[in-house]
Amino acid sequence: MFHDDQHGTAIICSAALINALEISNIDKKNAKIVFNGAGSAGISCAKMFVALGVPKENIIICYSKGVITKERIESVTEEKREFATDLKIKNLEEAMKGANVFAGLSVADCVSEDMVKSMAKNPIIFAMANHEIQYEKAIAVRDDLIMATGRSDYPNQINNVLGFLFIFSWALDVKAKAISEKMKMAAALAALTKEKVPEKVFRAYGNKTFEFGKNYIVPKPFDPRVIEWVSPAVAKAACDEWLARELINDFEKYKSSLKERMKKYWN
């Protein structure tokens, strides 16, 4: 089963993490990452971060009752136990000290300006759910911050809308029997952000320009190239794992067919 709010969010969040770490010059093996929110989306994002190469012991997850620690492991679900930490910390404020990355899939206003100040050099904040901290407040206290939200009216929109249409596109095209972790990883379209953005995308966003950097770590949802990148990559992963009922033998031809589909929407 593929759940968009869960797995779709994890895919786009992972793409953003890859690029944000590169821009901030942070090695993923050394990155200290703090999550607030241990629901299905939070756990799914954490698992995908581990699949990307972030050590599990570098991830701290907070939820409504505090930090998930091994001291209280019996009181949490099996999914949460996987990320129980040995560290002697009690709450989000303590967890944020020296953190490189904060990923919020929780509640509004749970992160203060002081917490942002306490993070490590070149911090990364993904306030994806309900404004864990307001964009304006966060950037006001750290000029070295990479900030992302789930909203389209701020830079760096981390939202599953960027991927799920095209993930399901390939699933239908190859009549996939399942959606594997390898396919999800193939959908994390980090590299597209480094390509030159077409003028048509600028026009779609009020003639704003976009270039790989702190304010552009994931592609825009109205970028017609997304389907050309995501669908073939994931379809190929499905074929490689023999999870496709209909194999694609010519991926360049398949990519061209996707461009034709998009012509009706873009001039």
pLDDT per residue over 19-53, tens digit each?
999 999 999 999 999 999 988 889 999 999 999 99
Q: What are the pLDDT digits (tens) for 111-122? A: 999 999 999 999
pLDDT over 70 at 170, yes or no: no
Q: Which helix (H) or strand (E) holds 94?
A: helix 92-96
The answer to whether 108 and 132 have CB atoms below 8 angstroms apart is yes
Q: Are 127 and 111 in contact (CB under 8 A)?
A: yes
**pTM for this prediction:** 0.88
Average pLDDT, the chain: 87
Question: How confident is the model over 147-168, as a mean pLDDT?
Answer: 83
Q: Residues 8, 217, 59, CA angle at the centre, nearest 5°?
A: 65
The answer to whether 189 touches 230, Cβ cutoff 8 Å, is yes
Contact 23, 146 (CB under 8 A): yes
User: What would the two tokens of residue 38 be?
Assistant: 């241990």
Place of tokens 């942070």: 26
